Amino acid sequence: MILKIFKTQFLILSICCLLLAASSVAAARLYLMPLSQTIYQDNSFIVEVKLDTEGKEINTVEANLTYSSDFLEVIDVSKGNSILTLWLKEPDVQQKDVSLIGGIPNGFQGEEGLIAKLIFRGKEIGEGIVSFKENSKVLLNDGKGTETRLNFSEGNYEIIKKPDIVVVLPPKILTLKLKVTDLRPSVSSAQIPKL
The pLDDT-based confidence of 17 (bands split at 50, 70, 90) is: very low
Cα-Cα-Cα-Cα torsion 168, 124, 151, 105, nearest 10 degrees, comes to -80
5, pLDDT greater than 90: no
10, pLDDT greater than 60: no
CB 121 within 8 A of CB 44: yes
DSSP for residue 133: -
The burial class, CB within 10 Å (0-12 / 13-18 / 19+), for 56 is buried
Domain borders along the chain are 26-141+153-160
180, pLDDT greater than 50: yes
46, pLDDT greater than 70: yes
169, pLDDT greater than 80: no
Mean pLDDT estimate for the chain: 85
CATH class of 26-141+153-160: mainly beta
pTM metric for this prediction: 0.72
The contacts of residue 138 (CB under 8 Å, 6+ apart) are 28, 30, 51, 53, 58, 60, 61, 62, 147, 148, 150
Extended strands (E) in 94-152: 97-108, 113-122, 126-132, 137-140, 150-152
Question: What are the pLDDT digits (tens) for 121-149?
Answer: 999 999 999 999 999 999 999 999 999 99
100, pLDDT greater than 50: yes
The pLDDT-based confidence of 45 (bands split at 50, 70, 90) is: very high
- What percent of the chain shows pLDDT beyond 90? 68
CB 190 within 8 A of CB 176: no
The pLDDT of residue 68 is 97
